[in-house]
Structure 1
Amino acid sequence: MRWGSKQLFSFLKFNQIQTPTQNQQSRTLVKVRLKWVKNKSLDHIIDIHTDIKAASLLKDAIFRSSTGYLTSKSIADWQKLFGLTVPTLRFIRRYPTLFQEFPHPKYPSLPCFKLTNIALNLHNQEQLVYQNCESEIVERLCRVLMMTRDKMVSFQSLYNLKWDLGLPDDFDRNLIRKYPDCFRAVKGSNGLACLKLLKWDDEFAVSALQMGNEDVDLSVSDNGETGLRKFKRGQNGLAFPMSFPRGYGGQKKVKAWMDDFQKLPYISPYEDCRGIDPNSDLMEKRVVGVLHEFLSLTVYKKTKRNYLRSLREELILPHKFTRIFTRYPGIFYLSLKCKTTTIALREGYRRGKLVDPNPLSKLRDKFYYVMRTGLIYRNKGVDMLPQLDSLVADDGAVVNDRDESEEEEDEEVCYTDGSSEMEAASSEED
């Protein structure tokens, strides 16, 4: 029997037979079920950074105050805002080397807190770092906006990410004023105030993974050929660095699955992805690339899951993108420390330390050194302020409360039932 073109088309559609071009973007990766492995070193770092962030935000709030101090009543409800596991009043009293307690001028029974001289010194050093690194901060902010669909992000999302991205406290006013050719405050379609990118810079449109593989040219060619077009011609892409927890390396099924994933072409997070099938393996690798690039832009190569979720539509991420973190444990680490879910880039750390610390992270190390001294010595910590001030003024002051020779430790914690804590955290969506 001879079929006409309409009959043949109906047969192909009914039997879901794909053409070679369509088949290139179909799903072929095996869904391997992996165990969650707890990493003690990364959990410890996340625990420390939670306290540093809360103390830093308290410092900024006191500095912005018109009176130069905050009352215990005004900070009582800030525990959830700062992500603390203890009441804010108890937290601020832990660090007398940063926050000096004194009675209110009019109401002696009301405790108040102001910054110590060493805290003011650290604040001034922080402002100097922001000034010296302003070009890097502008580039970082441009890259974030360049990855988004409409090249703009709401200020609310940026406020949440301010500490992670290393943005100054007044970035929403100062940077817009100083760089009017790059940024503009606009009103989004949802009515929220947004920061919009005005100028695209091709030099910024190179991801961290591409910069780490400079010998591989995945940039847009002179004839406009993008990574997606190169994919259709059969060219291979870049592979993500992977550091598997103990126990995964010997699993042949996992290794074969990851080899297939790595062979998929790499689509730059700065490239238009509208030509990619949203249900394909290629889109999955593109999502991994976007998350990898975003975490690479942060100071500590990590951020909270909820902060990423607020950017889901802007970054063109699937609704249940959180599952990517548990599906690729060699690239990402998902932590449940401090009653929240934090996502970290594994390659950003080695032996419990940041691989590539920047000036801001080094200054925050000094900040933590002062915090830890006050916590350990409590009442005596105040007497040590002159000595601490001289140490913090020295650029050589470094903090590390773990042995440098200590290896990064993974403790396997396996959950097999559907009600496990990790599965609930990784599958919970809006």
Structure 2
Amino acid sequence: MTPIPPPMTVWQHLLSILTTTTKTTHSKLPLFKTLLNPYSKPHIFSLFNSRHFSTSFLVTKTPKKFKKKRKKKESPRTKLVQTQPNLSPHLENILHRDAHFRFLTKTKEYLSKQPQQVLLLDEAGKLHQQLGFPRGRKVSKFIQNHPLLFDVYRHTDNKMWIGFSEFMEGLLLEERKIMDQMEVERVNVVRKLLMLSVNKRIPLSKIHHNRLLFGIPDDFRDRVVKFPEHFKVVVEEDGKRVLELVNWDPTLAVSALQKEFMIDEDKVKKAFKFAVKHGKALDLDEDDERKLNMLNTLPLVSPYSDGSKFDLWTLEAEKYRVGVIHEFLSLTLEKRAYIHNIVEFKEEFSLTKHTYQMLLKQPRTFYLAGTEMNWCVFLKDAYGEDGVLIKKDPQLVFNEKLYRCAEMKDLGSSDDGSKK
């Protein structure tokens, strides 16, 4: 066997292999001297740039399968306001019902205002926003979902028209009777809305736009002339018609919370919570902290007081705004309202852009459902554990009947084929 050379010999042998001559303009230098001299050519990087050395084995980019997928930030259009375990499926389902019957409710309102309550089918296909169906979809498919309520027929002009069925016309007559019977109650609702407002006046257009929320008839703008002792219509310079309150009625200026306080004082005391900020050094237990917060919570501010006199960010101003929202919801048919309904009266009720955060801080009384883009606020105490209203207005009873009929294919059976 060939003996292993000493270490010095191995090093010298390696140098002899690496030694080479390089052509330069000055002289021929060994390669190892060139590498040690940064100012000489070729430089060390030229060695690695040489075609004799391959870099194909280097991973220069992380494969997609090894990359961590970033979780996309959820859009306010889809992000739910409530999360588990605070989610109430029963109340959330009410919003799903609204979406399910959007075409029915909007088409019913729009068609009722048309001459002879009919509409050209071709024209209806362009009114996706007014009739409540998605853009690009055929309106005829939505009409077919409610065969008991709508008819499609060919007129003598050989054009297709849509209108109410004979059965639906009977339901509309029934609804009109209910509105006539509830006229006094609806007038009192409008009076209370005016008493809640800062200047005791609200544009008629706002009341008309939110009429379904309160069960107010479509022709209320014409009916107000029948009650000169309560209302006065003022036409402003821009042509806007504004409804003004004529007389203040102290018997109406009693909020739903005040009435409930007379029945169940403890329940009202627990309705809201305006927490007092305190240091941990106080070492308060749960009972002491509740008593401290109670001093801050009570007394509540009446929503029928003058809200304009409160400084915007004081505790009294927040109590006032919370009370106004509570009273506003108590006047609605279903004890709930969407954000667009509330924002409509922002100026009249001295509300701020922080209404959403304000209501989130009162989970004992309010339940916010839906998405952050389009949320709806409920009065929790008005609903049972099954998500059904405890007290139902006659108009609401009719609406539920209309929804049931909308799901039926004929008068003898329901949508699933079971006999009624």
TM-score by length of 2: 0.67
Q: Is the 8 A contact 1:50 1:84 kept in 2?
A: no
**Which residue in 2 is equivalent to 1:166?**
215
Q: In structure 1, how many angstroms separate the alpha carbons of the residues matched to 2:264 and 2:381? A: 20
Q: 1:333 aligns with which of 367, 370, 382?
A: 367
Q: In structure 2, how many angstroms separate the alpha carbons of the residues matched to 1:254 and 1:54? A: 51
Q: Is the 8 A contact 1:77 1:88 kept in 2?
A: no
**Which residue in 2 is equivalent to 1:425?**
none
Q: CA deviation at 1:54?
A: 4.4
**Which residue in 1 is equivalent to 2:185?**
136
**Which residue in 1 is equivalent to 2:390?**
355
**Which residue in 1 is equivalent to 2:175?**
126
Q: Is the 8 A contact 1:79 1:85 kept in 2?
A: yes
Q: 1:216 to 1:94 in 2, by over 3 A?
A: closer
**Which residue in 1 is equivalent to 2:401?**
366
Q: In structure 2, how many angstroms separate the alpha carbons of the residues matched to 1:371 and 1:337? A: 27
**Which residue in 1 is equivalent to 2:411?**
385
**Which residue in 2 is equivalent to 1:98?**
149
Aligned residue type for 1:162: R
Q: CA deviation at 1:67?
A: 3.2
Q: Is the 8 A contact 2:107 2:130 kept in 1?
A: no
Q: CA deviation at 1:104?
A: 4.5
Aligned residue type for 1:62: L
Per-residue Cα deviation, 1:261-281 (whole angstroms, up to 9, x for no partner): 673311111111344332122
What stretches of structure 1 of length at least 5 have no aligned partner? 1-33, 218-235, 244-251, 374-380, 389-396, 398-430
Q: 1:323 aligns with which of 352, 357, 374?
A: 357
Verify: 1:207 aligned to 2:276, yes or no. no
Per-residue Cα deviation, 1:243-290 (whole angstroms, up to 9, x for no partner): 9xxxxxxxx989957972673311111111344332122221211110
**Which residue in 2 is equivalent to 1:260?**
293
Q: Is the 8 A contact 1:208 1:296 kept in 2?
A: yes
Q: In structure 1, how many angstroms separate the alpha carbons of the residues matched to 2:271 and 2:198? A: 26
Aligned residue type for 1:372: E
Q: Is the 8 A contact 2:155 2:161 kept in 1?
A: yes
**Which residue in 2 is equivalent to 1:62?**
111
Q: Is the 8 A contact 1:97 1:116 kept in 2?
A: yes
Query: 1:385 aligns to what SS in structure 2?
Result: coil
Indicate the RMSD between aligned Cα atoms, in angstroms. 3.4
Per-residue Cα deviation, 1:79-117 (whole angstroms, up to 9, x for no partner): 444665575814333111111122344244xx4211112
Per-residue Cα deviation, 1:180-225 (whole angstroms, up to 9, x for no partner): 22122223587632222212111110111111122699xxxxxxxx
Query: 2:151 aligns to what SS in structure 1?
Result: strand
Q: In structure 2, how many angstroms separate the alpha carbons of the residues matched to 1:55 and 1:79? A: 12
> Greater Rg, structure 1 or structure 2?
2
Aligned residue type for 1:59: K
Q: In structure 1, how many angstroms separate the alpha carbons of the residues matched to 2:87 and 2:162? A: 38
Aligned residue type for 2:228: P
Query: 2:367 aligns to what SS in structure 1?
Result: strand
Q: 1:50 to 1:347 in 2, by over 3 A?
A: farther
Q: Is the 8 A contact 1:50 1:338 kept in 2?
A: no
Q: Is the 8 A contact 2:110 2:131 kept in 1?
A: no
Kindly, what percent of the aligned residue pairs are identical?
23
Verify: 1:277 aligned to 2:326, yes or no. no
| Residues matched between the structures, number | 318
Q: Is the 8 A contact 2:329 2:337 kept in 1?
A: yes
Q: In structure 2, how many angstroms separate the alpha carbons of the residues matched to 1:67 and 1:254? A: 66
Q: In structure 1, how many angstroms separate the alpha carbons of the residues matched to 2:183 and 2:230? A: 14
Q: In structure 2, how many angstroms separate the alpha carbons of the residues matched to 1:280 and 1:300? A: 31
**Which residue in 2 is equivalent to 1:288?**
322
What stretches of structure 2 of length at least 5 have no aligned partner? 1-80, 274-284, 415-419
Q: Is the 8 A contact 1:43 1:337 kept in 2?
A: no
Q: Is the 8 A contact 1:100 1:115 kept in 2?
A: yes
**Which residue in 2 is equivalent to 1:116?**
165
Runs of 4+ in 1 over 4 A off after TM superposition: 50-54, 81-88, 188-191, 252-259
**Which residue in 2 is equivalent to 1:154?**
203
Query: 1:70 aligns to what SS in structure 2?
Result: strand
TM-score by length of 1: 0.66
Aligned residue type for 2:381: E
Q: CA deviation at 1:344?
A: 1.8
Matches within 5 A, 1:4-43: 36=83, 37-43=86-92
Q: CA deviation at 1:331?
A: 1.8
Query: 2:122 aligns to what SS in structure 1?
Result: coil
Q: 1:348 to 1:207 in 2, by over 3 A?
A: same
Query: 1:73 aligns to what SS in structure 2?
Result: helix
